[in-house]
Structure 1
Amino acid sequence: MPSPLLLPLLTCAAVLLVSGVAKLRDPASVDRAFTALEVPTVLDRSPVRRALPWAEAVLGLWLLVTGGALLLLGAVLVLVLFLAYLVLVARAVRRPEPVDCGCFGALGDDRVTRVTVWRNVVLVAAAGLAVVAGQRDVALVPALSEPATWAWLGAAALASLAAVLVTHRSTGSADVTGGSEPEVDEDGNYLRTAIPRAQVLTEEGRVALLRDQTNRGAHLLLFLSPGCTPCQSLSHEVAGWADDLAPLVVVKAVVAGSPESLVVGLGHLKGHAWFDEFGIARAAFAMSTPGAVLLGTDGYLAGGPVHGEGEVRAFVEDVREHLRAQTDVTAP
């Protein structure tokens, strides 16, 4: 009978191999993860970022092919790595704004939640059992000579496949954004609703009521979170969009955080940012990040809300086209 300690050993190896290969296929995800998870400066170096996917893949293979003292050493390294990952995601989930980790490159759900923390707790436990396997000289290669091992591995693989298929949700049926959708009537026409009573903080720390701000012109609000990977990409477009849509539409990034966020990686938003430190505006619009909504000058929504990077970009382009059409009509 094969040792039950083979299962956590194989689990750690599979996770490391999948994670390493996924990161190698999408190197930018490693950069985004280091930024979003606020990896300590001493480790936040380009050589470390480039080496991490290879290290994961090598450790995964190490657990599969070694035994004895080498297996024990590899298992200890994996335990240390998984503990570090656990600390990073545990810190991230306590932050007020959503955080994307890119833990498995382009695979899986990027958003760090309590489920992410529990997943990493399970991986730390598996790595701990892998250390025990190394101490007891339980290795995969010798066990493969026993026919019972193959039957046991096949049953474990079948159970894992069944669990994946049962819990799988297609992207078409899943609500991936978690935000509200624009209201429409029976004919599918957009219904304008009143601007919610919500407030934000200005860069100077003053409270600003959204309804009052629209007296000075229409406002396009882009809801962003510092730890959200698509938000980081959109944040670099804000200044350009503000120039394109001025003077008819004011563009503001509503950042999930305090005005101090401008000092930490968001300096390029200076002059174009409001802050929603306690999530009041996000809750009022039932908004996820990234998201966008257009506030009219008459106290009603003029478009949106929309959610997701692609939808936000398309929404901004629609607003731009609408303004361009208005300009063409009014031109002499």
Structure 2
Amino acid sequence: MSIPSFIQIGLAIIFGLSGLLKLYSPSSLRSTLVALGIPKPLGSAGAWLVPLLEMLTAVLLVSSATVWLGQTLAFGLIGAFIYAILVALLKKERIQCNCFGKLRDDYLGRSTILRIALLIVMNSYITIANQPVSFTAIKLEELVLYLLSWTGILGLYFIVPFVLNAISQSQTD
């Protein structure tokens, strides 16, 4: 198992899934963009543009020939996410995150900073490692292992908040 290829595939999955889930709820992303101060017409365009850029990033990350472009686009998107968090913190408002569409109810702020930092570290690592890999160059067994591992990681990411919420509610009852 190659750590850079594992992370490269993970980033592709994260950006692809995030973009796909945002496309299922463009109105909620539009609301987030407008709450951040973006005019409604631009918010409407952004509600389609952001997920399409995320999905394009995912596609670019899976080929060794285009991974550098995917990394660059990922850094650009991460910069936009950081800007959104800063605006939300400065406004001191609870603005929906929509990081994964409506799949997870979360707000821009301190909780999203950790996720963004993790994306920065992952993207920086594969950029510095400079060992781009293409899906076609990975053995089928390794690819299945990568996909199953990332399915488990993302599954935990989505399940843990529900478990913690259930525990905290049972303690208050």
- Normalised by the length of structure 2, the TM-score is 0.77
Can you give the 5+ residue segments of structure 2 that lack an aligned partner in the other structure? none
CA contact (8 A) 2:18 2:101 kept: yes
CA distance in 1, matches of 2:107, 2:78: 18
CA distance in 2, matches of 1:154, 1:16: 14
CA contact (8 A) 1:6 1:140 kept: no
Q: Which amino acid aligns with 2:23?
A: L
* Greater relative contact order, per chain length (Cα 8 Å cut-off, separation 6+): 2
Can you give the 5+ residue segments of structure 1 that lack an aligned partner in the other structure? 177-332
SS in 2 for 1:124: helix
- Among 73, 77, 80, the residue aligned to 1:77: 73
Offset of residue 107 of structure 1: 1.4
Offset of residue 108 of structure 1: 0.8
1:67 counterpart = 2:64 = yes
1:103-118 aligned within 5 A? 103-118=99-114
1:204-243 aligned within 5 A? none
1:132-281 aligned within 5 A? 132=128, 135-144=130-139, 147=141, 149-150=142-143, 152-153=145-146, 156-157=149-150, 160=153, 163-164=156-157, 167-169=160-162, 173=166
Q: How many residues align?
A: 168
Higher helix content, 1 or 2: 2
Task: Tell me the percent identity.
Answer: 21
Distance 1:150 1:102, change over 3 A: closer
Cα deviations by residue, 1:168-226 (Å, 9 ceiling, x for unpaired):
416983779xxxxxxxxxxxxxxxxxxxxxxxxxxxxxxxxxxxxxxxxxxxxxxxxxx
Higher strand content, 1 or 2: 1
Q: Partner of 2:4 in structure 1?
A: 5
SS in 2 for 1:101: coil
Q: Which amino acid aligns with 1:127?
A: N
1:19 counterpart = 2:18 = yes
Offset of residue 78 of structure 1: 1.0
Q: Partner of 1:259 in structure 2?
A: none
CA distance in 1, matches of 2:12, 2:155: 20
CA contact (8 A) 1:36 1:101 kept: no
Distance 1:87 1:151, change over 3 A: same
- Among 47, 50, 75, the residue aligned to 2:48: 50
Distance 1:50 1:160, change over 3 A: closer
Distance 1:162 1:172, change over 3 A: closer
CA distance in 1, matches of 2:6, 2:88: 29
Q: Aligned-pair RMSD on alpha carbons?
A: 3.1
CA contact (8 A) 1:13 1:61 kept: yes
